[in-house]
Amino acid sequence: MSTELPESAVPPPTGAGESAPAPTRRTFIATSAAVGGAVVAGGTFLTGPEEATAAEAPPSSRVSLTVNGTRRTMTVDNRTSLLDLLREHLDLTGSKKGCNAGACGACTVLVDGHRVNSCLTLAVRLEGAEVTTIEGLAEGERLHPLQQAFIDEDAFQCGYCTPGQIVSGVGCIQEGHTGSPEEIREWMSGNICRCGCYVKIVRAVEQTVGRK
């Protein structure tokens, strides 16, 4: 009985001068995946647990500041904004996160008596500073005069921007920029009211400074 294979089943001979067959798409993908896995595995092998932990832990700092008359000391991520510190760490949610880009003024607070957009201010840069939020304006049950003026003049509608408007108005009064309605509008132009209560807001500031 013959054991010869039919001609069609015999693999063609490969001579010394012949090149290897070109890789197929399947072979190329499989090879690339294997090489990539080896590189990743090699990277994991070279990085020890200490280096991996250090890479994952964000840099943090200890900061002490006075918020509404109370001294606060805490350790925070260096990237934490003053707004997030107030809202998420101290539960002072009166300051609102509107645009989170310094364009609307809903997050306005006073830092050492000056108006700032707390969403753009890094908390770790305020070591020793004194911060006043909307929660710190009233004295117990007695509202700040500008808070009362906002009620008297009906200077709000949805109320979302109101804390920032009031704090900004207090800063505007302290800075002495209340000589006329035009001056008040100019120096409070960074605080946006989407409900359009600007006329009544100006009246509330005028009432507070005794010009109305």
Instruction: Give per-residue pLDDT as tens, 194-205.
Output: 999 999 999 999
Dist. CA 57–CA 75, nearest whole Å: 13
Pick out the chain residues at pLDDT < 50: 38-46
Structure tokens at 57: 């832990």
Output phi, psi for 149, to 5 deg: -65, -35
pLDDT of residue 33: 59
pLDDT of residue 47: 54
pLDDT of residue 41: 47
Helices (H), 89-180: 145-152, 162-175
Nearest Cα neighbor of 181 from 144, 157, 148, 153 is 153
Global pTM reads 0.74
Query: For the chain, first and last CA: distance in Å?
Result: 122
Output phi, psi for 155, to 5 deg: -90, 35
Dist. CA 34–CA 32, nearest whole Å: 5
